[in-house]
């Protein structure tokens, strides 16, 4: 066994990525405090060829130094938009026909393994603040709340880890 060299990975260029068909998924970052988590979200969105990222509220925007550090170029390949208010971002997605999924522990959460996405739908996945989660004002706008099952003493995962798990799971279930 040996590690593959960068050339052997056959990665596409940023321009080729921008022109390529994306998965109809928008990642919405709701008041993310850590720019490092934002950069990781860019990298995850690039890795899974998501359509776009919406940055909301206090969420840092490129070219923030810490975003660039963890995104490793994904902030240039991924399309993104900033919204001052999360409610405007969610309404924009709803108006464009996206199913709104909140990654949050609620009294109506569906465990991730039980969520079955429909290939005919477009999805917007909202990931909330590291301490407070998703903004209360948009809970009523969610079509579904998804929760990642956990079995330890902590009841939350790092934002970037949770984003990667949920995104991979949905892409895998849809088998684009």
Residue 46 and residue 77 in contact, taking contact as beta carbons nearer than 8 Å: yes
Domain-located, residue 132 = yes
Residue 169 and residue 46 in contact, taking contact as beta carbons nearer than 8 Å: no
Tens-place pLDDT, residues 89-104: 999 999 999 999 999 9
Domain-located, residue 1 = no
Q: What is the pLDDT of residue 175?
A: 85
Going by C-alpha positions, the residue among 39, 30, 37 that lies closest to residue 77 is 39
pLDDT tops 80 at residue 59? yes
Domain-located, residue 12 = no
Domain-located, residue 10 = no
Task: Give the total number of structural domains in the chain.
Answer: 1
pLDDT tops 70 at residue 65? yes
- pLDDT class for 39, splitting at 50, 70, 90? very high
Q: What is the pLDDT of residue 120?
A: 96
Residue 132 burial (CB count, 10 A): 11
155 Cβ neighbours under 8 A, 6+ residues apart: 105
Domain-located, residue 113 = yes
Q: What is the pLDDT of residue 176?
A: 61
Taken as a whole, the chain contains a residue count of 176
pLDDT tops 80 at residue 44? yes
- Based on the number of CB atoms within 10 Å of its own CB, is 42 exposed (0-12), middle (13-18) or buried (19 or more)? buried
pLDDT tops 90 at residue 47? yes
Report angle CA 33, 83, 171 to the nearest 5 degrees.
Answer: 75
Question: How far is Cα 134 from Cα 161, in angstroms, rounded to an integer?
Answer: 16
Return the DSSP state at 96. T
Q: What is the CATH number of the domain that holds 81?
A: 3.40.1280.10
- Per cent of the chain over pLDDT 70 is 99
Write down the residue that tokens 């056959």 correspond to: 10
For strand 23-30 and strand 80-83, is the pairing parallel, antiparallel, or unpaired? unpaired
């Amino acid at each position: 066994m040996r590690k593959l060299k960068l050339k052997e990975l056959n990665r596409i260029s940023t321009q080729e990525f921008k022109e390529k068909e994306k998965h109809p998924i928008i990642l919405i970052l709701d008041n993310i405090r850590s720019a490092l988590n934002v950069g990781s979200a860019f990298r995850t969105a690039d890795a899974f060829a998501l359509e776009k990222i919406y940055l909301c509220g206090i969420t840092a925007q490129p070219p923030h130094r810490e975003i660039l550090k963890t995104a490793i170029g994904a902030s240039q390949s991924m399309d993104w938009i900033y919204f001052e208010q999360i409610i405007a971002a969610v309404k924009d997605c709803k108006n464009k026909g996206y199913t709104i999924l909140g990654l949050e522990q609620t009294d109506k959460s569906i465990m991730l393994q039980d969520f079955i996405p429909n290939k005919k739908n477009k999805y917007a996945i909202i990931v909330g603040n590291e301490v407070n989660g998703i903004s209360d004002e948009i809970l009523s706008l969610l079509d579904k709340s998804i929760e990642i099952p956990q079995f330890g003493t902590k009841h939350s995962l790092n934002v970037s880890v949770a984003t990667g798990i949920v995104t991979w799971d949905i892409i895998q279930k849809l088998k684009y």
